A = this chain, B = another copy of it.
Amino acid sequence: MEKTDALNGSEGSGGGGSVCGYHSLHRLLNAISNPISSSRILYGLNRGKALETISLLKSAKSLSSGHDFDLQAYCFLINKELLREPRIVRVGLIQNSITLPTNKVKPIIDVAGASGVNVLCLQRIHLNFTRKVWTMPFAFCTREKRWCEFAEPDLARKYNMVIISPILERDVNHGETLWNTAVIIGNTGNIIGKHRKNHITRVGDFNESTYYMEGNTGHPVFETAYGKIAANICYGRHHPLNCAFGLNGAEIVFNPSATMGELSEPMWPIEPCNAAIANSYFVGSINRVGTKVFPNPFTSSDGKLEHANLGHFYGLLISDMDINLCRQIKDKWGGFQMTARYDLYTDLLTRYLKPNFEPQHNKSP
C-alpha cells in the first residue's frame, strides 16, 4: 500500500485496499458497468452524473510522483443560476499514513498549493495508546506547543489557502485540560477559530476518554473567504444529531478521521453521504491510509489478543465543488428544512434527558 496517500480524489468506498483488484468500489463499478448507473447510486448529490476529472499542472503531478503519493482530482456538476455567479471551491483532502518523524505532509501541502486548492483539510491527530503519548501528524506540531504556534499559518498565507488543522490542544486556563481540536486557519494566515470535538470515541477498551474532554464549543461554522465551513471531528460522524453544523449554515463539513477497516468500514461510505443528504452540505471525509504498526502490543475493542497494529486504514476523498449546489438542493428538496419537526424532536429530547424518562410505548389493551 505504498501509493495510497491521496490528495483531492473521489473514490466511493475504499474497500480495505482493493475490491476485486480495484482500488475502490467506484473504480470497480466504472470498469464493469455503465458509469451513469453506478454514479446514480453512489453520488446522489451529483444528481446521478459521473464526476468529471480536473486537469492539474504538470508540476503538481511530477511533485506528487516524486514524493510517491497519489493525486486525484474531480469536480461536481451543477446547474447555472440566473442571479448568482458560481462559487467554485477547490477542496483538498489529505489522507496520509503516519511515519514519525514525517516529511510526508509538507510536500502534499505544496502540491495542494500548486494545484490551486482553496480549502485544505489535514489528517486527524491520532492517539498512540501503546505509550500513552500523543503522536502528532507533524514534527512541528507537538504537545508542548500552543495551538497558534504552527507552521500552517505560514503555508496558508503562502498559498492563499484555508487550512483545517486537527491538533491536540492544551487548555492552560482550565487546569491543563486537553481537547481534541480542529483549528481553522484563514487564507491570510489568520486564525478564524477552533472547534473542540464533541463526542469522545469509546468502543470497548478502545477508549479515548482519558485523553481529552468532551468539546464545549457547540457546533461552530467558520466564515472563510471560500464559504462557510465546519469540522465534525472523527467519531462525531456516527451521531446524526451532530448535524447541527447544518443548522448553523455550514456549506462544507470536514470529517478528519482515524478509523480502522475492520471496525468501521461498513459505515464509512454510509454516514458522510447521509449527512450530506440530510443537511444539503458537502462532506469531506478523510481517513488515515496504510497500516500503522506500533512498537508495543496492545488490546482494543475486537476481543482479539494483543496486537501491535491498529488495522488497515482506508479512505474516501471528495473534491472540487460549487457550493451554490447547497442552496440548489435545498430549493429542490425544500421539504428537508421545511418539513422537519424541530419542535417534536426538541420536546422528546428534553424529556429524554430526564432520569425518569419513560419511553412512548404502546401495548395492546
A interface residue numbers (CB < 8 A to B): 13, 15-16, 19-20, 25, 28, 32-34, 37-38, 40-45, 48, 184, 186, 188, 190-193, 198-204, 214, 218-224, 228, 235, 238-244, 247-249, 262, 265-267, 269-271, 273-274, 277-278, 301, 332-336, 338-346, 348-350, 352-353, 359-365
Q: List 10 A-B contacts (CB under 8 A).
A: A15-B41, A20-B33, A48-B266, A203-B333, A220-B362, A240-B243, A249-B361, A342-B352, A346-B353, A350-B350
A326 to chain B, nearest CB (A): 14
Residues of B within 8 A of A240 (CB): 240-241, 243, 274, 278
Q: Which of B38, B41, B203, B222 has a CB less than 8 Å from the CB of A269?
A: B41
Cβ B44 vs Cβ A270 within 8 A: yes
A346 to chain B, nearest CB (A): 4
Closest chain B residue, CB of each to CB of A273: B270
Q: A20-B33, A342-B353 are in contact. Are A220 and B270 (CB under 8 A)?
A: no
State A186–B241 Cα separation when bound (angstroms).
32
Residues of B within 8 A of A243 (CB): 240-241
Cβ B335 vs Cβ A43 within 8 A: no
Q: A40-B265, A240-B274, A266-B42 are in contact. Are A364 and B249 (CB under 8 A)?
A: no
Residues of B within 8 A of A200 (CB): 335, 339
Copy tally for this chain in the complex stands at 2
Residues of B within 8 A of A349 (CB): 244, 247, 342, 345-346, 349
Q: Other than A198-B341, A203-B335, give 4 A-B pairs with Cβ distance below 8 A.
A: A20-B33, A239-B339, A249-B359, A342-B352
Cβ A40 vs Cβ B16 within 8 A: yes
Q: Which of B45, B188, B248, B363 has a CB less than 8 Å from the CB of A223?
A: B363
Q: Which of B40, B188, B199, B335 has a CB less than 8 Å from the CB of A202?
A: B335
Cβ B335 vs Cβ A277 within 8 A: no
Residues of B within 8 A of A238 (CB): 277-278, 333, 335-336
State A193–B241 Cα separation when bound (angstroms).
28
State A338–B153 Cα separation when bound (angstroms).
36
